[in-house]
Amino acid sequence: MKKIIYTLSLTTVLAITTAFACDKCQKFNNENFVIVSTSASYNSNLKQLVMSIQVKGKAGVTMPDSIGKLDGAGVLGYVFPTTLKSEDVGFNKTDGIVALALTSHPDFDDSPLWDENNNGTFSDDGRVWHPHWVLLVKDERVKGGLAVKEFKKEDKTVKLPTTAPNMPMYMDSPGFQVITKGNTIQVVIPSYRINNKIDFKFDAVTCYMSVNTSNMMMPMLGVMEVYSVASGKLTLPYVVKTK
């Protein structure tokens, strides 16, 4: 019963996303975000997982426009919603959809521990495609129907990985390698970083997100538009294959 309810709730969110299109997001709605397939492969010898998305166009070529400020900044993402638990990726036990988002956002850097472009500066890498673990929750305040789960800074029950940026929401910057080549974007995950869980299910989504720092009645990071869903209905049907 729980699995049925979980699937239906995700399908409902997808319907909301489709119904409330974001006009400014449409310029990024191109073949580079049309998913044709997705996969996850676990190498038992190296004990690492490779998650991939293949698109109709060229993966990672399209990036958000810079607006010169954090408030209203755009974030493009290739996202893997999963059935992993929040504890598996270093958060405390809490509700939400654990997703690995591969993102690009030129107006800010939220991975201060990592120098993704290897230029010696750790605060200018937002444009480079990089990963985030996030907890997604249903949120009808935004056009995409989903947002990253937030918390109050004084909440002592909240647990975040030491690699998380200093933001009051369930988001981590794990520093996994992200590779874009041709029509494929991939991320490499050591198995111990997901509590050695490789029997989870997943899906693949491409979307546009937006940062909000000025309106307390709106989420800090919300999904504004979904471009493509691998399964078509966000049912998380895909499994990890071991080789």
List pLDDT tens digits, range 86-139: 999 999 999 999 999 999 977 666 665 554 556 665 445 555 799 999 999 999
Q: Look at residue 71 in the predicted model and tell me its pLDDT.
A: 87
Q: Are 240 and 84 in contact (CB under 8 A)?
A: no
In angstroms, the CA 240 to CA 243 distance is 10
Give residue 232's region: left, alpha or beta (phi > 0; psi -120 to 50). left
Q: Look at residue 238 in the predicted model and tell me its pLDDT.
A: 98
Percent of the chain that is helix, strand, coil (3-state, to 5): 15, 35, 50
Q: Which regions of the chain are under pLDDT 70?
A: 1-22, 107-127
Expressed as residue numbers, the domain containing 219 is 2-242
Half-sphere exposure of 116 (CA within 13 A, CB side): 24
Q: Look at residue 159 in the predicted model and tell me its pLDDT.
A: 97
Q: Look at residue 19 in the predicted model and tell me its pLDDT.
A: 38
Neighbours of 69 (CB within 10 A): 12
Task: Look at residue 73 and give its three-state secondary structure.
Answer: coil
Q: Look at residue 8 in the predicted model and tell me its pLDDT.
A: 41
Q: Enumerate the H helices of 20-151 as residue ranges.
A: none
Host H or E run for residue 54: strand 48-55
Q: Quick one: tokens of 218?
A: 């709106």
Q: Quick one: tokens of 22?
A: 């974001």
Neighbours of 242 (CB within 10 A): 12
Domain count of the chain? 1
Q: pTM for the whole thing?
A: 0.87
